[in-house]
Structure 1
Amino acid sequence: MSADIRSVTSSTPPAPTLRELLRAGRVPQRYPDVAPLLRAMDDHERERAGRLLARVSPDAVLAAHPKTPVVAATITGPGTLAALEPALTADLAAHGILLRSRVSPFDSWIADLSDPVGRGLTDSDLVLCVLDPTVITAELPQPWRVDDAERVLTEKIRLIRGLAERFSGATLVLNTLPLPATMTGQLIDLRSRARLGALWRTANADLLALSERNSGVVVLDLDPILADGVPATDARLSVYGGAHLSGPLLARYAREVGALARLIAGRQRKCLVLDLDQTLWGGVLGDDGAEGIEVDGGHRGAAFTAFQRVVQQLGSQGVLLATASKNNLAAVTAVLRDHPGMTLRESDFVRVHADWQPKSAAISQLAADLNLGRDSLVFVDDSPFECGQVGAELPEVAVVQLDDEPARHVEKLLRGGWFTVRELTSEDRTRTDKYRQEIRRGEYLGSAASFADYLRGLDLVVRLAPVAERDLPRLSQLTLRTNQFNLTTRRMQELDVRRLIEEPGGLALAVHSADRFGENGLVGAILLRRAADAWHIVNFVLSCRVFSRGIEQAALAAVLRAARASETGCVTAEFRRSARNGIVSEFYPRHGFRQQERHDGGDVAFYRHDLAELLEHPTHIRLLDGLAGNEDFTKS
Structure 2
Amino acid sequence: MTKGLDRLRDLRAQGLLEKAYDEVPRLLAGETGEPEVGGLELRTAGRLLAGVDPAAVLAHRPATPVITVAVTGSCTVGPVRDPLTAELARHGMLARTVTGDHGAWLRDLTDPAGALRAADPEFTLCLLDAGAVFAEVPVPWRPEDVEEAAGRLVDRLAAIAADWPGTLVLNTLPLERRYTHQLVDHASRARLGALWRDANARLLRLVESSPRVVVIDLDPLLGGAVPVADPRLAQYAAVNLGAELLAGYAREVAHLVRSLRGRTRKCLVLDLDNTLWDGILAEDGPEGVAASGSLRGEAFHTFQRVVKQLAAQGVLLAVNSKNDAAAVREVLTGHPDLLLREDDFAAVRANWAPKDANLREIADELGLAPDACVFADDTPAERAQVRHGAPDVALVALGADPALHTTALLADGWFDTPALTDEDRARAGRYRGERRRRELRAGTGSYEEFLTGLDTRVDLGPPRAHEFPRLAQLTQRTNQFNLTGLRLREDELRAYAADPAHRLLLAARTADRFGDHGLTGALLGRYHESAGVLELENMWLSCRVLARAIEQACLAALLAAARDDGLNAVEARWLPTPRNHRARGFYPSCGFEDVTPPNRDPAAGERRYRHDLTRLPAMPDHVRVDPPVLERTGHRDG
Bin of the TM-score, shorter chain as denominator length: over 0.9
Q: TM-score, normalised by structure 2?
A: 0.93
Letter of the aligned partner of 1:28 in structure 2?
Answer: E
Q: CA offset at residue 591 of structure 1? A: 1.1
Bigger mean CA deviation after superposition, 413-422 or 237-246: 237-246
User: SS in structure 1 opposite 2:357?
Assistant: helix
Query: Separation in 1 of the partners of 2:5 and 2:101?
Result: 40
Query: Separation in 2 of the partners of 1:440 and 1:63?
Result: 47
Letter of the aligned partner of 2:522 in structure 1?
Answer: A
Q: CA offset at residue 479 of structure 1? A: 1.1
1:382-408: CA deviation from partner (whole Å, max 9, x where unpaired): 111111111122221111111111111
Q: CA offset at residue 614 of structure 1? A: 1.7
Alignment of 1:90-105 (within 5 A): 90-105=86-101
Q: Does 2:15 match 1:22?
A: no
- Shift in CA distance, 628/450, structure 1 to aligned 2, threshold 3 Å: farther
Query: Separation in 2 of the partners of 1:93 and 1:301?
Result: 37
Letter of the aligned partner of 2:464 in structure 1?
Answer: A
User: SS in structure 2 opposite 1:43?
Assistant: coil
Residue equivalent to 2:21: 31
Aligned match for 1:518, one of 512, 515, 519: 515
Residue equivalent to 1:298: 294
- Shift in CA distance, 187/600, structure 1 to aligned 2, threshold 3 Å: farther
Q: CA offset at residue 472 of structure 1? A: 0.7
- Shift in CA distance, 435/15, structure 1 to aligned 2, threshold 3 Å: farther
- Shift in CA distance, 55/122, structure 1 to aligned 2, threshold 3 Å: closer
Q: Does 2:590 match 1:596?
A: no
Query: Separation in 2 of the partners of 1:206 and 1:93?
Result: 33
Q: TM-score, normalised by structure 1?
A: 0.94
User: Is the CA contact 1:460–1:516 (under 8 Å) kept in the aligned structure 2?
Assistant: yes
User: Is the CA contact 1:467–1:510 (under 8 Å) kept in the aligned structure 2?
Assistant: yes
Q: CA offset at residue 122 of structure 1? A: 7.2
Query: Separation in 1 of the partners of 2:602 and 2:113?
Result: 27
1:319-368: CA deviation from partner (whole Å, max 9, x where unpaired): 01111111111111111111111111111111121111111111111111
User: Is the CA contact 2:314–2:425 (under 8 Å) kept in the aligned structure 1?
Assistant: yes
User: Is the CA contact 1:121–1:170 (under 8 Å) kept in the aligned structure 2?
Assistant: no
Residue equivalent to 1:136: 133
Q: Does 2:480 match 1:476?
A: no
Alignment of 1:248-263 (within 5 A): 248-263=244-259
Letter of the aligned partner of 1:95 in structure 2?
Answer: H
Residue equivalent to 1:576: 575
Residue equivalent to 2:611: 609
- Shift in CA distance, 136/545, structure 1 to aligned 2, threshold 3 Å: same
Query: Separation in 1 of the partners of 2:493 and 2:123?
Result: 17
Letter of the aligned partner of 1:622 in structure 2?
Answer: R
Aligned match for 2:45, one of 17, 32, 49: 49
User: Is the CA contact 1:599–1:605 (under 8 Å) kept in the aligned structure 2?
Assistant: no
Aligned match for 2:455, one of 459, 462, 467: 459
User: SS in structure 2 opposite 1:396?
Assistant: coil
Q: CA offset at residue 628 of structure 1? A: 5.8
1:171-204: CA deviation from partner (whole Å, max 9, x where unpaired): 1111110001100011111111000000000000
Bigger mean CA deviation after superposition, 501-510 or 258-267: 501-510
Equivalent pairs, count: 618
1:523-578: CA deviation from partner (whole Å, max 9, x where unpaired): 10001112322111121000111112121111111211222222222211111101
Residue equivalent to 1:552: 551
User: Is the CA contact 2:66–2:93 (under 8 Å) kept in the aligned structure 1?
Assistant: yes
Residue equivalent to 1:567: 566
Query: Separation in 1 of the partners of 2:359 and 2:118?
Result: 42
Query: Separation in 1 of the partners of 2:489 and 2:497?
Result: 13
Q: Quote the sequence identity (%).
A: 46
Query: Separation in 2 of the partners of 1:162 and 1:462?
Result: 42
Letter of the aligned partner of 1:31 in structure 2?
Answer: Y
Aligned match for 1:157, one of 150, 154, 162: 154
Letter of the aligned partner of 1:353 in structure 2?
Answer: R
Q: CA offset at residue 294 of structure 1? A: 2.8
Query: Separation in 2 of the partners of 1:436 and 1:24?
Result: 52
User: Is the CA contact 1:374–1:397 (under 8 Å) kept in the aligned structure 2?
Assistant: yes
Alignment of 1:417-456 (within 5 A): 417-456=413-452
Bigger mean CA deviation after superposition, 265-274 or 492-501: 492-501
Q: CA offset at residue 116 of structure 1? A: 5.4
User: SS in structure 2 opposite 1:422?
Assistant: coil
User: Is the CA contact 1:136–1:149 (under 8 Å) kept in the aligned structure 2?
Assistant: yes
Residue equivalent to 1:230: 226
Bigger mean CA deviation after superposition, 429-438 or 226-235: 429-438
User: Is the CA contact 2:260–2:417 (under 8 Å) kept in the aligned structure 1?
Assistant: no
Residue equivalent to 1:372: 368
Q: Which runs of 5+ in 1 are unaligned?
A: 4-13, 630-636
Letter of the aligned partner of 2:140 in structure 1?
Answer: P
Aligned match for 1:72, one of 63, 68, 73: 68
Q: Does 2:173 match 1:177?
A: yes
Q: CA offset at residue 613 of structure 1? A: 1.7
1:483-512: CA deviation from partner (whole Å, max 9, x where unpaired): 110001111111221232234412211001
- Shift in CA distance, 292/474, structure 1 to aligned 2, threshold 3 Å: same
User: Is the CA contact 2:558–2:627 (under 8 Å) kept in the aligned structure 1?
Assistant: no
User: Is the CA contact 1:116–1:122 (under 8 Å) kept in the aligned structure 2?
Assistant: no
Query: Separation in 1 of the partners of 2:627 and 2:103?
Result: 53
User: SS in structure 1 opposite 2:595?
Assistant: strand
Letter of the aligned partner of 1:351 in structure 2?
Answer: A
Query: Separation in 2 of the partners of 1:481 and 1:470?
Result: 19
Residue equivalent to 1:351: 347
Query: Separation in 1 of the partners of 2:183 and 2:139?
Result: 13
Bigger mean CA deviation after superposition, 101-110 or 312-321: 101-110
Bigger mean CA deviation after superposition, 95-104 or 187-196: 95-104
1:249-269: CA deviation from partner (whole Å, max 9, x where unpaired): 111111111111112322221
Letter of the aligned partner of 1:558 in structure 2?
Answer: A
User: Is the CA contact 2:260–2:418 (under 8 Å) kept in the aligned structure 1?
Assistant: no
- Shift in CA distance, 108/621, structure 1 to aligned 2, threshold 3 Å: same
Aligned match for 1:412, one of 398, 408, 411: 408
Query: Separation in 1 of the partners of 2:462 and 2:444?
Result: 35
Query: Separation in 1 of the partners of 2:515 and 2:326?
Result: 28
Q: Which runs of 5+ in 2 are unaligned?
A: 30-34, 632-638
User: Is the CA contact 1:482–1:543 (under 8 Å) kept in the aligned structure 2?
Assistant: yes
User: Is the CA contact 1:485–1:543 (under 8 Å) kept in the aligned structure 2?
Assistant: yes
Q: CA offset at residue 131 of structure 1? A: 1.4
Letter of the aligned partner of 2:127 in structure 1?
Answer: V
Q: CA offset at residue 96 of structure 1? A: 0.8
Q: CA offset at residue 115 of structure 1? A: 4.5
Query: Separation in 2 of the partners of 1:300 and 1:121?
Result: 56
- Shift in CA distance, 218/122, structure 1 to aligned 2, threshold 3 Å: farther
Query: Separation in 2 of the partners of 1:96 and 1:439?
Result: 33
1:261-281: CA deviation from partner (whole Å, max 9, x where unpaired): 112322221111111111111
- Shift in CA distance, 101/565, structure 1 to aligned 2, threshold 3 Å: same
- Please identify runs of 4+ aligned residues in structure 1 that moved more than 4 A: 115-119
Letter of the aligned partner of 1:614 in structure 2?
Answer: L
Residue equivalent to 1:634: none
Q: CA offset at residue 220 of structure 1? A: 1.0
Q: Does 2:308 match 1:312?
A: yes
- Shift in CA distance, 38/116, structure 1 to aligned 2, threshold 3 Å: farther
Q: CA offset at residue 518 of structure 1? A: 1.1
